[in-house]
Structure 1
Amino acid sequence: MNTKTKIPPAPLSCYDNLEETLTYAWALLARGVKDRKSAFHTPTIATIGANNAPHLRTVVLRGCDIEQQSLRFHTDKRSSKVLELAKNPLAAIHCYDAAMKIQLRLDVDLKLIDGAGFEKAWTATRPMSRECYQVTASPGSPIDDPYEAVFDADATQDGEINFAPVTAEVKTIEWLYLAAKGHRRAYFDLTQTPVKMEWLVP
């Protein structure tokens, strides 16, 4: 019987290099903004709720500024996450690509964007996305029937009055790469100058 040995895929080019690993991590996040098929397009974010427990939800990654070390997502200003970030801006973001076997865990500070940044984010928002902010009641409000949720473009100024862009200032990044040759785990503290980089036991 002729059996072929399955050759494991070659590891990433950044496999043994901390600086290149950090660059690769940012590249994945930047790609997540534009590529809807990317696993990094919809990360999970955790905030601390009023009960001091973590609250998880999925958001859509709308911006990545590598120079400023920040990410951006949009939400409804009446949502619980806005109330939570006002009390405690510290949050965590998790991304995992099952195909690439790469996990990123980020510690971030959340801030609402206003002024010119708000206008720029709103102007770039597509009509389909704006519908999310045209609901007249606050997200999460209890209703007796799903059809009771009312969307009114005029009353909500096309949704603009409920729109809330949020910036996530990245403080740390933890990288995990599951490779057949051997896993790689690394930690980056972006609050340090230069950035503190170290390998961790996988």
Structure 2
Amino acid sequence: MQLTTIVLSLFGFFIVARAADSDLNLPYPLVPFQYNGILGGHNVQLNGTIQDIYAQMKELHPDFELEHAIQSRAEASNLTTHDIANTFDYYCCPVPGHKWQWALGPHILDGIKYLKGIDICDVGASSCVRIGCSWNSAIYLCNDNRFKITPMCNYIASYAKDLIDKCSEYPPVHTFLTCGQEFDTDGYNVIVREDRC
């Protein structure tokens, strides 16, 4: 009985420490991503990563088709890449001042694909949102401004793709890994890194 209590206490401590470590390793406090808009022809207000939002949509509206939503949004928008002039700077891991670990590149690519299916990725003043995460591979949007911003999600996805292009490693026994941070001249940045999902 005592051993069980000790093990459960240590497990609880590990989970709390891991969550605190994750939050402290971001430039600003982590707040939930909230999507308000039209998705699959439905006006919705949903919370979570893009993967969570799509799962909620499928539950609320069984007729919702992810591939159709992504294709429709991609066709509706001409903005799929950012202007190089808007890129302020980027860092590949190890990023100074952070202990970020490498994410699995293919899962970041999936997150990029999913982000192209929604329009606005908003984030409040001086905060970060985890906009995508699967298989412990996360995409964050952090706002350096003192006001809310509402960039297009496919624009943010292009920064994550940039980090894959610039900040990936290809170990011989594993799929490719990626980790880094890229800054926009409008006062926000995108981070790809490992984190628990």
TM-score range, shorter chain: under 0.3
Which structure has more relative contact order (CA 8 Å, sep 6+)? It is 2
TM-score (norm 2): 0.23
Select the structure of larger CA radius of gyration: 1
1 or 2, which has the higher helix percentage? 2
TM-score (norm 1): 0.23
